[in-house]
Amino acid sequence: MALTPTADLIADAAAHETGIGAFNVIHLETAEALVAAAERSGLGVILQISQNCVAYHADATASADAPASDGLDPIALACLALARQSTAPVAVHLDHAEDAQLARHAIDLGFGSVMFDASRLEYAANVEATATIAAYAHENGVMVEAELGEIGGKDGAHAPGVRTDPDEARSFVAETGVDALAVAVGSSHAMTAREASLDLDLIARLHTALDVPLVLHGSSGVPDDVIVAAIRAGMTKINVSTHLNGFFTRAVREFLDENPTVVDSRKYVRAGRAALSAEAERMLRLFANAGAASAVASSEGAAL
């Protein structure tokens, strides 16, 4: 199937009223694990590279005054290469880019979509900045996601209880021309316990109010059964990062505890990659089956 436009994967999930997994890449081994999960399941996956991930990779070589985009090329080109070689449909997406230059660079590299996050700005400034990126992306055939109603947890900056207003969301989409909207409905970034409660009624109202797909950020803190209910209420793109990172890290710790003399990092990183891949496959299947009446939450991934 090879590299696939993000818009195609999201449109297919929306048409079938199911969910599509959008999983964050931290390093090459993460990307390999996610692509392998897609291939085993026969389902599509969206590889997400966040601005934080770009900054991490830039730390290795860039000077202090280097632009944010300097760390993007190595990890981005690796993900694009994996996608092109895959037997499963794989899209590559830029996640939570607050830097307009970084968003433009991802578009120029051939990403299928970018998430431009100007949610920290006042509404009018958010609209202006997002519309500018959306126009550039659309000129290049790239899908744009934005955020309205800040998702909690990022740097402790967002107050609990923030929610996206359906009327404001409708206006925002019309004014910016974005193709998907991340909405605040009760989830929070970087949660390590799966105990978040979502406002399913609000999700349904947002789904009715908007003609673009809804995106759930902070899904790591949401139990399986609640994610399934959210998909049934109208969520389409389901973002997961911390939850999968937990599987990777625990597997590495376990391997090193059992093999304290090992110094070859490939051996313990392989264990982490395998554990993350297995859980990613399970989640891809969960999201894809969420629209079916028989879909049930698996207890296997019920807690971190």
Catalytic residues: 95
Residue 155 falls in which region: left (phi positive, over 0), alpha (psi -120 to 50) or beta:
left
Half-sphere exposure (Cβ direction) of 212: Cα atoms closer than 13 Å: 22
Residue 34's nearest CA partner among 17, 130, 189, 24 is 24
Task: Report which residue type is found at 138.
Answer: H
* H or E element in which residue 182 lies: strand 180-183
Q: Nearest-CA neighbor of 131 among 154, 168, 96, 100?
A: 100
Q: What phi, psi does 220 have (nearest 5°)? A: -60, -30
Radius of gyration of the chain (CA): 18
User: What is the distance between the alpha carbons of residues 231 and 122, in angstroms, rounded to a whole number?
Assistant: 29
Other beta carbons within 10 angstroms of residue 229's beta carbon come to 18
For tokens 């990659």, name the residue.
273
